[in-house]
């Protein structure tokens, strides 16, 4: 069967795919090109995305809430994070999906197709779906190649969590400050903490999060969250309005090596999740701008999307955390107590100079980092 033929096919209509489609549909350079976005399920997901940026941003109209203050709490330290000129911003994925789907449909330039893609054949230049095959001159593919989990050469840990969106009778939250990490409820021998996004004094998303080589059972998160309410927030009086779970790979696996003349991997599948943090929202915006710049300059869309210097730093950091998972609290305490939030955000945004990188690295210095440096660099 011949099947339809497109200029571009975007596989996956999530954070990366929808944003790429939106930017293509808004750019006259791509006018008249036949483009499709294919997803097995276009329904709205229950996910919360946070990111930081300076001043006003592209997504401000969609924000649920933003904060100019944060907290970091460990056994030793209680750190007040004063963020300006940055703000920590929160978007519900459902709001983002709905708005972008509407906007892209309104532009009339991009076809939405519900199908599950199984593979891309480089000879026929077709993506084979369950329903049809789709030809294209280039594919943007957000499927995640699962082989990263088997790679012996690379380090993978998982950021996995469960969150409860709760309403309480008493006003127990401080809505002017979110909690980046609170290590007071501990899981043995692991990097695990509570993360809080407070909307009002009575309403918040409270998540128990691991950065660990292992995954865990659902009831473990529930127990840790129950403990946090009982021992830290000291209340039994709350109602769970919704729950959110997630597993994000934190890995130095080079997903971008799969980029070719025919295929550019995007999103998590392209290695756009920062290995040391699990964040990808802001990276997505930057990388899509780079893809469009590449295309307009006659380069392959997937060229130079990943900064190798920062990928090495991330690899060392991941190795330390994977080999010494029980030391996460100490490592993050040094990170947040010896550097300002502005220095941290600039470094995590991969905008720092080598001397600024060195300052951050020296703040984390320990023999574990030296060992991981030699393991990852040589
Ligand atoms: C619960 C959760 C919370 C997160 N919170 C944050 C955060 O606060 N900040 C941050 O920066 N990052 C966060 N992340 C990490 C990351 O930003 C998100 O996972 C983000 O959605 C990744 O974007 P993506 O486009 O790669 O994948 P997705 O948004 O998951 O989109 C992928 C799409 O591809 C589709 N698809 C998959 N396989 C196929 C196939 N074979 N055929 C057709 N379609 C297919 C899926 O249905 C999906 O719609 C979070 C992740 C999770 C899971």
Determine if ligand 1 sits within 6 Å of the CB of residue 128: no
Determine if ligand 1 sits within 6 Å of the CB of residue 10: no
Q: Examine residue 242 and state whether it is found in any structural domain, yes or no.
A: yes
Question: Omega of the bond prior to 85 within 30 degrees of 0, cis?
Answer: yes
- Residue count of the chain, please give it: 378
What pLDDT is stored for residue 367 in this prediction? Answer: 86
Both 161 and 37 in one domain: the answer is: no
Determine if ligand 1 sits within 6 Å of the CB of residue 78: no
Measured by CA distance, the residue closest to atom 38 of ligand 1 is 143
Atom of ligand 1 nearest to the CA of 17: 25
Both 227 and 373 in one domain: the answer is: no
Both 243 and 267 in one domain: the answer is: no
Both 298 and 346 in one domain: the answer is: no
Q: Report whether 278 contacts 188 (CB < 8 A).
A: no
Distance 369 CA to ligand 1 centre (A): 31
Distance 216 CA to ligand 1 centre (A): 20
CA dist list (Å): 273 to 183, 216, 234, 250, 266: 24, 21, 35, 7, 10
Q: Examine residue 82 and state whether it is found in any structural domain, yes or no.
A: no
Determine if ligand 1 sits within 6 Å of the CB of residue 16: yes
Atom of ligand 1 nearest to the CA of 18: 25
Residues 280-314 as b or e (16 or more Cβ within 10 Å = b): bbbbbbebbebbbebbeeeeebbeebbeeebbebb
Q: Examine residue 87 and state whether it is found in any structural domain, yes or no.
A: no
Determine if ligand 1 sits within 6 Å of the CB of residue 330: no
Q: Examine residue 69 and state whether it is found in any structural domain, yes or no.
A: no
What pLDDT is stored for residue 371 in this prediction? Answer: 85
Both 260 and 121 in one domain: the answer is: yes
What pLDDT is stored for residue 150 in this prediction? Answer: 93
146-158: pLDDT as tens digits? 999 999 999 999 9
User: Ligand 1: which of 9, 10, 11, 12 to mutate, most ligand atoms within 8 Å of CB?
Assistant: 12
Distance 214 CA to ligand 1 centre (A): 20
What pLDDT is stored for residue 377 in this prediction? Answer: 80
Domain count, the chain: 3
Q: Examine residue 30 and state whether it is found in any structural domain, yes or no.
A: yes
The CATH number given to whatever domain includes residue 217 is: 3.30.9.10
Domain end residue (candidates: 250, 275, 290): 250
Atom of ligand 1 nearest to the CA of 16: 25
Distance 51 CA to ligand 1 centre (A): 15
Q: Examine residue 182 and state whether it is found in any structural domain, yes or no.
A: yes
| Of 38, 55, 45, 112, the residue nearest 89 (C-alpha) | 55
Both 134 and 259 in one domain: the answer is: yes
Determine if ligand 1 sits within 6 Å of the CB of residue 12: yes
Determine if ligand 1 sits within 6 Å of the CB of residue 158: no
Both 132 and 168 in one domain: the answer is: no
Domain end residue (candidates: 235, 250, 265): 250
Q: Quick check: pTM over 0.75? A: yes
Determine if ligand 1 sits within 6 Å of the CB of residue 141: no
Both 25 and 42 in one domain: the answer is: yes
Domain membership of residue 315 as a residue range: 309-377
Q: Can you list the residues of the chain whose pLDDT is less than 70?
A: 1-2
The CATH number given to whatever domain includes residue 112 is: 3.50.50.60
Measured by CA distance, the residue closest to atom 20 of ligand 1 is 15
Distance 171 CA to ligand 1 centre (A): 33
Atom of ligand 1 nearest to the CA of 267: 26
Distance 268 CA to ligand 1 centre (A): 7
Domain end residue (candidates: 306, 324, 339): 306
Determine if ligand 1 sits within 6 Å of the CB of residue 13: yes
User: Ligand 1: which of 97, 250, 267 to mutate, most ligand atoms within 8 Å of CB?
Assistant: 267
What pLDDT is stored for residue 145 in this prediction? Answer: 96
Both 293 and 326 in one domain: the answer is: no
Both 32 and 106 in one domain: the answer is: yes
Both 116 and 170 in one domain: the answer is: no
Both 116 and 263 in one domain: the answer is: yes
């Amino acid at each position: 069967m011949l099947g339809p033929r497109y200029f571009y096919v975007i596989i996956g209509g999530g954070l990366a795919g929808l944003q790429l489609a939106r930017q293509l549909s808004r750019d006259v350079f791509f006018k008249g090109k036949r483009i499709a976005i294919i997803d097995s399920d276009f329904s709205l997901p229950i996910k919360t995305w946070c990111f930081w940026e300076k001043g006003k941003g592209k997504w401000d109209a969609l924000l649920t809430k933003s904060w100019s203050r944060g907290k970091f709490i460990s056994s030793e330290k209680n750190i007040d994070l004063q963020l300006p000129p940055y703000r920590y911003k929160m978007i519900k994925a459902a709001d983002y999906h709905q708005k972008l789907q509407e906007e892209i449909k309104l532009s009339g330039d991009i076809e939405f197709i519900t199908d599950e893609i199984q593979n891309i054949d480089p000879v026929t230049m077709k993506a084979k779906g369950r329903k049809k095959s789709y030809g294209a001159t280039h594919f943007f593919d957000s499927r995640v190649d699962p082989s990263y989990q088997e790679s012996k050469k690379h380090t993978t840990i998982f950021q996995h969590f469960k969150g409860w969106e709760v309403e309480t009778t008493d006003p127990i939250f401080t809505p002017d400050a979110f909690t980046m990490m609170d290590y007071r409820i501990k899981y043995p021998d692991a990097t695990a903490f509570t993360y809080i996004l407070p909307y009002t004094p009575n309403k918040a998303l409270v998540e128990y999060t691991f950065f660990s080589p292992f995954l865990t059972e659902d009831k473990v998160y529930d127990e840790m969250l129950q403990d946090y309410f009982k021992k830290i927030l000291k209340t039994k009086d709350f109602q769970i309005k919704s729950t959110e779970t997630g597993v994000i790979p934190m890995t130095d696996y080079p997903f971008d090596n799969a980029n070719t003349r025919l295929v550019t991997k995007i999103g998590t599948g392209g290695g756009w999740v920062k290995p040391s943090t699990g964040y990808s929202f802001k990276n997505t915006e930057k990388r899509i701008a780079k893809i469009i710049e590449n295309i307009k300059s006659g380069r392959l869309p997937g060229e130079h999307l990943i900064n190798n210097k920062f990928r090495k730093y991330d690899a060392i950091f991941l190795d330390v955390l994977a080999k010494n998972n029980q030391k996460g609290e100490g490592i993050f305490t040094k990170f947040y107590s010896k550097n300002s939030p502005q220095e941290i955000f600039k470094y995590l945004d991969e905008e720092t100079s080598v001397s600024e990188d060195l300052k951050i690295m020296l703040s984390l210095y320990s023999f574990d980092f030296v060992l991981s440096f030699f393991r990852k660099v040589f």
